[in-house]
Amino acid sequence: MFATNQSDPKQPEKDASEQRLSPPSANTNDRLQPKSLADLFISFSLLALQGFGGVIAIAQHELVERKRWMTREEFVEEWSVAQIMPGPNIVNLSVMLGARSFGLPGAMAALAGMIALPLVLVLLLGLVYAQYSTHPNVIGALRGMGAVAAGLVIATGIKLSSALKTNPLGISLCIVLSVPCFIGVALMHWPLAYMLLGLGVVACLLAYRKLKP
Amino acid sequence: MSAAPILTMQWTGWLSLFANYLALSALSVGGALATAPEMHRYLVVQQHWLSEAQFNSSIAIAQAAPGPNVLFVALLGWNIGLNAGGTARALLGVLITMTGILLPSTTLCYLVAHWLHRNREQRAVRAFRQGMGPIVVALVFATGWILAKGNGNPATDWRLWLLTAATVLILWRCKIHLLWLLAAGAILGWFGVV
């Protein structure tokens, strides 16, 4: 279904030589393709295992700079789609990229790569924690990490806020929409569905009005 | 710190857990972490399937580990299963929560990505993408706030709150790998400084 978006996978050497002569983002013919389903699985496993914290940085580095499976322009476009869609951005991106090359099997290979090994690792960490969860030092360490994790998420929110400067809604409307959303979810513990269906729909309609054709 | 609850999970309980995660998946615009407040409300406040400490440590462990942040969902399912009595149920919990949180969103993504890509200049598509911006940012802040509340009472646990505030400032102002900050938090906590 993604075939229209595809360069010829049979000419990787030609693409690679063109790559050296022109900037990496010149056009879609510059990019290479995953060689096989196994290639997709292994590549996304390695990407996932390097992804501590900011996954977008490692994804861009691996997929655009090293593998050259996407041009920079494509990466920006696909990432914005991955963000629009529900679900984890990096998981959505892996599904889209896998599907582009090998259809449904490709999507599943990329998804499996993204999830399988990190899942085993995180469960092992969880097991270790269960065995030592009464150890006062471990309790202390996790409390400390929890406090840091809260700070990391809040700092991410601050960084993302700067992206609202270019939002067509304008900064004051963004504040008017986001403050009640924060109060409802964080302080009042209202269900997320009310926020997305209520404030979210209002926000999209306002954005639609602002984006005159 | 609250103790882990002991549960007797009926199949209806597992089913409603699965249904809840299917719904959360479809709503998880901005990533799974954006739905953490809703998971907290459902799992900790409403159903009492998890303790506050289990919820927070699941997020902390998943953030310390490599891989997508969505894996904290697997740890939440794991802990619910453990509370219900054993490793087999913990694995069932992982299967239910991870399938629930990924199946609708990845299916939808697979089907819609191409259509959205072709229609990305359309006004309605752009309005959706841009309009959700302030909502998504607010949800990230809400997640951070709920995590910070796990620090406890600001009057008595002020050192943890200070650590949270310091982390925000450092990450906001400096280019530093998140792992160093998490390691610093672990060391400070291990030696009882915070």
**Among A104, A127, A150, which residue terminates a domain?**
A127
Task: Say how many domains are in chain A.
Answer: 2
B37 at A interface, C-beta within 8 A: yes
- DSSP helix/strand/coil, A86: strand
Kindly state whether residue B170 falls inside one of the protein's structural domains: no
pLDDT above 90 for B96: yes
**Among A85, A104, A127, which residue terminates a domain?**
A127
A9 vs A186, higher pLDDT: A186
**Among A127, A148, A168, which residue terminates a domain?**
A127
pLDDT above 70 for B45: yes
CA distance A103 to A172: 43
Co-location of A94 and A170 in the same domain: no
Kindly state whether residue B54 falls inside one of the protein's structural domains: yes
Closest of A126, A153, A148 to residue B184, by C-alpha? A148
Calculate the average pLDDT of chain B: 88
Co-location of A60 and A110 in the same domain: yes
Per the CB < 8 A criterion, the answer to whether A63 and A75 are in contact is yes
A30 vs A101, higher pLDDT: A101
Co-location of A111 and A201 in the same domain: no
Residues B125-141: tens digit of each pLDDT: 888 777 878 887 888 78
CA angle, corner A156, sides to A155 and A157, nearest 5? 90
Range of the domain at A67: 3-127
Range of the domain at B102: 11-130
Q: What are the chain B neighbours of A187 within 8 Å (beta carbons)?
A: 145
Q: What are the chain B neighbours of A114 within 8 Å (beta carbons)?
A: 67-68
Calculate the average pLDDT of chain A: 78
Q: What are the chain A neighbours of B45 within 8 Å (beta carbons)?
A: 189
Kindly state whether residue B174 falls inside one of the protein's structural domains: no
The confidence score (pLDDT) of residue A134 equals 76
Query: Which of A1, A171, A185 would best serve as a mutation to test chain B binding (most B beta carbons within 10 A)?
Result: A185
Kindly state whether residue B190 falls inside one of the protein's structural domains: no
Kindly state whether residue B147 falls inside one of the protein's structural domains: no
Mean pLDDT on B155-180: 87
Task: Say how many domains are in chain B.
Answer: 1
The confidence score (pLDDT) of residue A178 equals 92
State whether the Cα torsion B133-B166-A49-B105 is positive or negative: negative
Complex ipTM more than 0.90, yes or no: no
List the structure tokens of B31. 């990533």
| Residue A27 region by backbone torsions, left for phi larger than 0, else alpha for psi between -120 and 50, else beta | beta
> Roughly what angle, to the nearest 10 degrees, separates helices A89-131 and A72-84?
70
Closest of B64, B65, B86, B61 to residue B76, by C-alpha? B61
Mean pLDDT on B72-95: 93
Kindly state whether residue B186 falls inside one of the protein's structural domains: no
Contact B130 A99 (CB under 8 A): no
The confidence score (pLDDT) of residue B1 equals 46
The residues that bridge with A86 in the sheet, in sequence order, are: B29
Co-location of A118 and A155 in the same domain: no
List the structure tokens of B128. 């959706």
CA B12 to chain centre: 23
Co-location of A50 and A75 in the same domain: yes
Q: Looking at chain B from residue 66 to 95, which residues have their Cβ under 8 Å from any Cβ of chain A?
A: 66-71, 74-75, 78-79, 82, 94
Co-location of A85 and A150 in the same domain: no
Spatial neighbors of B64 by CB under 8 A, at least 6 apart, are A125, A145, B179, B182, B186
Q: What are the chain B neighbours of A115 within 8 Å (beta carbons)?
A: 67-68, 71, 98, 102
Kindly state whether residue B168 falls inside one of the protein's structural domains: no
Predicted TM-score (pTM) of the model is: 0.67
pLDDT above 50 for A4: no
A103 at B interface, C-beta within 8 A: no
DSSP string, B5-58: PP----HHHHHHHHHHHHHHHHH-BT-GGGGHHHHHIIIIIIS--S-HHHHHHH
Mean pLDDT on A124-148: 82
CA B111 to chain centre: 25
Give me the total of CB pairs closer than 8 Å, taking one residue from chain A and one from chain B: 379
